[in-house]
Amino acid sequence: MVTDALFKFVLPSHPRYLRVVRAAVGELGSVSGLPAEDCRAVILAVDEALANIIRHAYRGHFDRRIEVTCQAFADRLEFDLLDQGEPPDPDRLAPHPLDDVALSGRGTHIIRSIMDEVSYEQAPGGNRLRLSKRLPAVLSGVEEEGKS
Amino acid sequence: MNATIRSNQGTTIVDVTGHIDLGSSPALRKSMLECIKNNDRMAVNLSEVKYIDSSGIASLLEILKEARNTRKKFVLFGLTPGVREVLQLTRLTGVFEIYESEDDVVKAAKG
């Protein structure tokens, strides 16, 4: 029996494909029961992570390989992003207080604000960023458990 | 993404439609920078924006800085829930002057 869904995209690091991934992430969130506002947030988080890969890991080259794996489990959504570009600057990945006037650096803050878990590793296949978001049924289950 | 420019009672209105993301924000930034150089009051209509990311927000912030440096007016109106949420996430809601509608922008200009 199969209950978990897995969708994998292999795409060039060109911004034109971002909206394709956004659409897929939104639909997956929607059928998994995420409320509309959370769906928009998760779309944004995945999109910001892809934009970081294009801008920083691939330094604006639009013809490199990105693998995006989207998984829907009973309790969470997981997004796995793999690239073969420059490893990220650890300082950029770390949580920072937002500077009111800074023009850049908001993407990582957005990702951390939205997702429940964010982890990075240098895997054999390249840089792997994993983003995880709990689904509402689990959240309400935890609340009910806490009340009893 | 598409951006068109028109005038309403002394305020230059930029109507933006579609998705503002890594691919489209450089073009939007360029047209808005050109616009703020040539006009004293500029308002961006975001009511038809389906999506905006942090690069789009950074473009808006850059125009705001340019406007402040040159003593011009730069405001936003017609924010969709999605746009408002991104501004809140980036904690920039209070940085921009935001109006509900174009009528409100024009009324505010008249003082």
Instruction: Flag if A109 and B90 touch (Cβ within 8 Å).
Output: yes
The answer for residues whose C-beta is within 8 angstroms of residue A104's C-beta and 6 or more apart is: B58
pLDDT digits (tens, 9 = 90+) for A54-105: 999 999 999 999 999 999 999 999 999 999 999 987 777 766 666 555 666 7
Of B21, B57, B89, the CB nearest to A47: B21
pLDDT digits (tens, 9 = 90+) for B43-79: 999 999 999 999 999 999 999 999 999 999 999 999 9
Say if B97 is an interface residue toward chain A (CB within 8 Å): no
pLDDT digits (tens, 9 = 90+) for B12-37: 999 999 999 999 999 999 999 999 99
Beta-carbon-side half-sphere exposure of residue A19 (alpha carbons within 13 Å): 12
Instruction: Flag if A101 and B62 touch (Cβ within 8 Å).
Output: no
pLDDT digits (tens, 9 = 90+) for B78-109: 999 999 999 999 989 899 999 999 999 999 99
Mean pLDDT value across residues A108-136: 95
The residue assigned the tokens 């300082």 is A91
- In three-state secondary structure terms, A15 is helix
- The interface predicted TM-score (ipTM) is 0.92
Q: Say whether pTM exceeds 0.95.
A: no
Identify the residue among A48, A52, A66 best suited for mutation to test binding to B, counting B beta carbons within 10 A and taking the highest: A48
The residue assigned the tokens 């806490």 is A146
The token pair at B31 is: 């047209």
Please, which pLDDT band fits residue A147 given cuts at 50, 70 and 90?
A: very low
What is the maximal distance between C-alpha atoms in chain B?
38
Say if B82 is an interface residue toward chain A (CB within 8 Å): yes
Distance CA(B89)–CA(B52), nearest Å, equals: 12
Instruction: Check residue A99 and give its pLDDT.
Output: 59
Q: Are strands B97-99 and B73-77 parallel, antiparallel or unpaired?
A: parallel
Please, which pLDDT band fits residue A138 given cuts at 50, 70 and 90?
A: low
Please, which pLDDT band fits residue A106 given cuts at 50, 70 and 90?
A: confident
Instruction: Check residue B110 and give its pLDDT.
Output: 85
Instruction: Check residue A96 and give its pLDDT.
Output: 65
The token pair at A108 is: 């990582």
> Regarding predicted confidence, which is higher, A120 or A92?
A120
- Rounded to the nearest integer, the mean pLDDT of chain A is 88
How many A-B residue pairs are in contact by the CB < 8 A criterion?
A: 62
